[in-house]
Amino acid sequence: MNVKTTQIKSSLVNILSKYALPLLLGTVVMNMIFKTYLTENVRLFTFGYVVYECLLFALFEWLKPRKIARGLVYTALMVSVLFLSLQLLRAGYENSGKSFINWFYVNRQEIGQIDEYFYFLFVGLGFFITSVLYYFTIVRYRSFGTMLVLLFPFFIYGKRADSMGTLDITIMLTVFIALMVHSRLVSDESKGNLVINGSYVAAAAVFVTLAGALAMLMPASESKSYLEQNSNFFDLTIKTSGTYDSLSEESSPRFGADATGEILFNFTTTSDEKVIYLRRQSFDLFRDEKWTNDNSFYNFDFDRNVHLYGDNEVNSTSYVYSIAKSLADKDYSKDSGVDKAMFPDDLFSEKAVMNQFSDSFAPSYIPAPLMVTPGENNVYIKTTHGEVYRPYDTAGNNLGISFEYYPETERERKVAANLDMTEDDFKLLLRHGSENGDITSTQMNNIVKVYALYTDVSAYDDKGGRMEALAKSITENCKNDYEKAQALVDYFEQNGYVYDNEYEPDDESIAYFLFTSKRGNCTNYATSMTLMARMLGLPARYVEGFAAYEKNERGEFVVRDSHAHAFVEVFVAGIGWMTFDPTVPGYQRDYSSQGGNFDVSTFVSYFSRIALFIGVAFVLVVFVFLNRIIEVFFRLSLKFRDNGDKVIRLYQRVLKLLTITSHDNLSGYTPEMIREYLMEKRGAELGSLIDLFEKTCFGGYIPEDGEWKTVYAEYKSQWKKLARREKTSLELDENI
C-alpha cells in the first residue's frame, strides 16, 4: 500500500513538473488576449480555456507513442478546428456586418463585442497556441518557438493601440523565464535525470525571481534601436502615434482609452498662454453614443476666386468680430440694441507665431489653435469645421511648420463676458447690414447657418427632457452667450464630478455619466456640454485635439499621446467661436517633475512589479522554511498549556514528524517501540521524554517545571533529526 501511494505521488509530481508551466503560460497569454476583446466573463472564459488546453495536452500525450496514427489524427483535428473557425468567421460577419479584420484591430468600445469572432479566437488561436507550447516544451525544447506564443498579446495590443497591464506583462515574462529554465530539463529530448526536490525548486525560484521580477523593475532605456527609429521596417506593430496620424468620420471611444506617454511633437509659440488647445477635428451630430460628421454641414458658401485656400470665414473669430464691430458702428445698430463701445478696436491686433516640429510624427493635418491665419505659411483651413492642412504636403512627411494665429486672450474673454448681445440681436444686425450693402448676403447666410446647424440635437434622444431641463436650470441667471457657456463649464467642477480615464461603466450612455456616475474622461465632459449648449440654442461643436501644457527644459511645449483631449467650441454672438474646457481638474499629468515620465500611473506600474517580487519572495521563503514556521507556531502554542498537557502534545508531535518524514505507519507503536525506532532510524535519543510521557499519560503524574524544561531541551536538540526526510526506496534506486 505504501509503495503504491508513493508511486502515485511520484507520478503526480512528474506530471506537474512537466506540464504545469506550459499550461500556465498558455493560460496567462490567452487571459491577456481575452481582456482586450471581452467586456465581462474574462475569468469564466479563462477557466474554459484551461479545460480546453488540458484536454488537448492529454490528447497529444496519448497520440505521442502512436507514430502512424498521430499524424493522421492531428491532421484531422486541425482540419476540424479550421472548418469550425471558418464557420464562426462567416457567422460573425453575417450577424454583425463587420469584418473580422476591423473587429480584430479596433477598440471594442468602437465596434462592439462580436461573440462569433471571439469564439474563433478561443477555438482556433487557442488550438494553435496549445499545439506550439506542447511541441516546443514537451517534445522538443526550443525557446524561440515558445517565444512565438509571447508575441501574440504584444501583436494584438499593439495593433489595437491598447496598453498592457504592467502586472500582466510581469507575470507572463516571469512564467516564460521559469519555463525556459525548467523545460530544458524535462522535455522528451532531455536526459531525464532531473530530481525535483526542495533544493531544485528553491534554486529555480530564486533565479526566476531575480531574472524576471528584478528585470521588470529596471527603468526602460531612453535610447532607440534602429528598428524602433524605423518602425516601418517590420509592419508588425503600430506606434501609439498612429492613432493620431489622420482624421476619421467618428469620434474616439468615450471609455477605455489608452495612452503610453509617447511624445508626438514639440512646438514653440510667441504667445504667453499656459494651456493651448490644438484642434484635430470637430464633429457635427451625436448619434448612437458617438459623434459623427454629416454631409449637410458642408453647405457653407464662399467665393473660390477670393478664398483661394478654401477658407470658411465663420471659423475665424477675428472675422466674425470684425463684422459685428463694423455693423455696430452704423446708425441702424441702435435698433439691435448694440453699442459700438462694446467692441474695442485692437482686440485682435497681435498675432502669435507657432513653430511645430517632430522627427517621427507625420499627420495628415496640422494640430493648430482655433484662429490660424489662412493663406499664409502654406496652410489652408477646411471648409465648415476649421481643420488646418498643408495643401501640397498633407501626409507622409514629419511635422515641421510655422504659422501665425490669434491667441485666445483673457481680454477677449472679458469682452465676451461683457457683450450685451443675444442671438436675435446679432441676426437683426446682420440683416440690417445685408440690406444696406455693408455685408454680402453670403456673409450673413454663413453666420445664420452656424445657428441652424450647430444647435441640432435631433439625432440624440433626451429622454424626458432631463438634459435640457438641467441646462436651463444651470444658466437661468445668465445674461449672454458667454456667461451661459461658462456656467456649463463651472457646473461640472462644482457638483462632484470626477475625472477618471480608466473608468468603464456598465452603462456607457452620456445620460448615465451626466446624472448617475459623474465619473469619466474628457470625451464625456465635452459631449455633455456640447449637447446642453445646443439645447439652449447656443451653437456648439465637439472638438478632439490636444491640450498642450507641458514644457521641457528648453521651454518648448511637449505634446504626448496622453495629452489627447476633447473640448468644446461655442459660437458667441458678436465674437464667434471660442474654446471652453468643461473637464474637471485631474487630467493634466506632470511628466517633467519626476525625470520625464513619472506620474501616478507610473507609480502604480512600479508598485505592481515590486508587489510581484515581494509575493514571489514570500512564497519562496514560506516554501523553504515551511517546516520551521510550523514548528515555531507549535512551540508557541505550548506556552499556554500546563506541564502535563505539554508533555503529551510534545510526544504526539514527535510521532507526527516521524510519520511525515518516514512514510511509515507508526499508529500501532508503543512508546518503547518508538524509543527503539528513534535510535535505529534517526540516531535520536528521547528517553527522558518517553519516560515522562508514560508516567504522565498512564500514571496521572503532574510533571514539575524542571522536568518539563529538561525534556523540552532534549526535544529541541534532536528536532533536526526528527524533521529530516528519509529517502524512499524508489529515490534510492534512482540515485544508484
Q: What is the pLDDT of residues 420-462, one digit of tens each?
A: 888 999 999 999 999 999 998 888 988 998 999 999 999 999 9
Which range (3-12, 225-234, 271-280, 548-557) has the least confidence? 225-234
Residue 633 lies in a domain: yes
Helix (H, G, I), strand (E, B) or coil at 352: strand
C-alpha distances out from residue 57 to 18, 65, 432, Å: 11, 14, 84
25 φ, ψ (degrees, to nearest 5): -65, -45
Do residue 425 and residue 524 come from a single domain?
Answer: yes
Do residue 633 and residue 582 come from a single domain?
Answer: no
Do residue 506 and residue 634 come from a single domain?
Answer: no
Check residue 40 and give its pLDDT. 73
* Side chain identity, residue 662: S
Model confidence at 513, pLDDT cuts 50, 70, 90, reads very high
Q: Show which of 144, 165, 195 is a domain's final residue.
A: 195
Check residue 225 and give its pLDDT. 38
Do residue 441 and residue 571 come from a single domain?
Answer: yes
Nearest to 368 by CA among 390, 385, 341, 387: 387
Greater model confidence, 320 or 663: 320
Check residue 261 and give its pLDDT. 79
Check residue 436 and give its pLDDT. 92
Interior angle at CA 457, CA 452 and CA 462, nearest 5: 150
Would the pLDDT of 528 be above 90?
yes
Check residue 462 and give its pLDDT. 92
Check residue 299 and give its pLDDT. 61
Q: Show which of 180, 195, 210 is a domain's final residue.
A: 195
DSSP secondary structure string, 61-109? Answer: HHHTT-HHHHHHHHHHHHHHHHHHHHHHHHHHHHHH---HHHHHHS-HH
Which range (57-71, 308-322, 574-588) has the least confidence? 308-322
Do residue 572 and residue 497 come from a single domain?
Answer: yes
Q: What is the pLDDT of residues 371-421, one digit of tens each?
A: 887 765 667 676 567 888 876 655 557 888 888 999 999 999 999 999 988
**How far apart are alpha carbons 282 and 384 in whole angstroms?**
9
Q: What is the pLDDT of residues 107-162, one digit of tens each?
A: 554 556 788 888 998 998 889 888 888 888 877 767 777 777 888 888 777 666 56
Do residue 519 and residue 657 come from a single domain?
Answer: no
pTM here is 0.55
Do residue 324 and residue 392 come from a single domain?
Answer: yes
Check residue 556 and give its pLDDT. 94
Nearest to 453 by CA among 403, 389, 385: 385
**How far apart are alpha carbons 671 and 406 in whole angstroms?**
99
Would the pLDDT of 192 be above 50?
no
Which range (73-77, 334-338, 364-368, 628-632) has the least confidence? 334-338
Would the pLDDT of 593 be above 60?
no
Looking only at the bridges linking them, the beta strands covering 519-520 and 498-499 are: parallel
Check residue 345 and give its pLDDT. 87
Looking only at the bridges linking them, the beta strands covering 576-580 and 564-572 are: antiparallel
Check residue 149 and give its pLDDT. 82
Would the pLDDT of 569 be above 80?
yes
Q: Is the Cβ–Cβ distance between 317 and 577 less than 8 Å?
A: yes
**How far apart are alpha carbons 645 and 653 in whole angstroms?**
12
The runs of H, that is alpha helices, within 100-257 are 100-105, 108-111, 115-120, 126-134, 143-159, 166-186, 198-208, 214-217, 226-229
Residue 598 lies in a domain: no
Do residue 488 and residue 407 come from a single domain?
Answer: yes
Helix (H) or strand (E) holding 286: strand 285-287
Residue 205 lies in a domain: no
**How far apart are alpha carbons 606 and 167 in whole angstroms?**
9
Could you give the number of structural domains in the chain?
3
C-alpha distances out from residue 489 to 275, 486, 495, 530, Å: 16, 5, 11, 10
Work out the average pLDDT over 619-648.
79
Greater model confidence, 584 or 156: 584
Residue 604 lies in a domain: no
Q: Name the residue with cell 507520478.
A: 11
Do residue 725 and residue 658 come from a single domain?
Answer: yes
Model confidence at 47, pLDDT cuts 50, 70, 90, reads very high
* Side chain identity, residue 610: I
Which range (4-13, 69-78, 122-131, 701-710) has the least confidence? 4-13
Looking only at the bridges linking them, the beta strands covering 498-499 and 400-405 are: unpaired
Check residue 596 and give its pLDDT. 42
Would the pLDDT of 81 be above 50?
yes
Greater model confidence, 216 or 154: 154
**How far apart are alpha carbons 26 and 43 in whole angstroms?**
14
Residue 239 lies in a domain: no
In the structure grid, which three cell numbers stand for residue 219, read together?
A: 527603468
**How far apart are alpha carbons 50 and 23 in whole angstroms?**
7
Q: Is the Cβ–Cβ distance between 672 and 679 less than 8 Å?
A: no
Containing domain of residue 499, as a range?
A: 263-587
Which range (92-96, 164-168, 329-333, 534-538) has the least confidence? 164-168
DSSP 357: E
Do residue 177 and residue 282 come from a single domain?
Answer: no
**How far apart are alpha carbons 327 and 340 in whole angstroms?**
8
Q: Name the residue with cell 476540424.
A: 80
Greater model confidence, 602 or 440: 440
Residue 123 lies in a domain: yes
Check residue 551 and give its pLDDT. 92
Model confidence at 177, pLDDT cuts 50, 70, 90, reads confident
**How far apart are alpha carbons 687 and 71 in whole angstroms?**
66
Q: What is the pLDDT of residues 220-271, one digit of tens each?
A: 444 443 333 333 333 333 344 556 777 888 888 777 666 777 889 999 999 9
Helix (H, G, I), strand (E, B) or coil at 354: strand
Check residue 51 and give its pLDDT. 93
Model confidence at 558, pLDDT cuts 50, 70, 90, reads very high
Model confidence at 295, pLDDT cuts 50, 70, 90, reads low
Q: Is the Cβ–Cβ distance between 411 and 470 less than 8 Å?
A: no
Q: Show which of 195, 213, 231 is a domain's final residue.
A: 195
**How far apart are alpha carbons 260 and 158 in whole angstroms?**
11
* Helix-then-strand count for the chain, H and E: 27, 15
Burial class (CB in 10 A: 0-12, 13-18, 19+), 174: buried
Greater model confidence, 310 or 713: 713
Greater model confidence, 231 or 328: 328
Work out the average pLDDT over 55-59.
90
Residue 224 lies in a domain: no
Work out the average pLDDT over 83-109.
77
Residue 385 lies in a domain: yes
Give the other-Cβ count within 10 Å of 544's Cβ: 22
Looking only at the bridges linking them, the beta strands covering 276-283 and 540-548 are: antiparallel
Do residue 532 and residue 670 come from a single domain?
Answer: no
Work out the average pLDDT over 534-561.
94
**How far apart are alpha carbons 584 and 377 in whole angstroms?**
36
Do residue 177 and residue 293 come from a single domain?
Answer: no
The Cβ-side half-sphere exposure at 248, using a 13 Å CA radius, reads 14
582 φ, ψ (degrees, to nearest 5): -85, -5
**How far apart are alpha carbons 258 and 228 in whole angstroms?**
20
Question: What's the mean pLDDT when you consider all of the chain?
Answer: 79
Helix (H, G, I), strand (E, B) or coil at 313: helix
Model confidence at 732, pLDDT cuts 50, 70, 90, reads very low
Which range (39-43, 698-702, 703-707) has the least confidence? 39-43
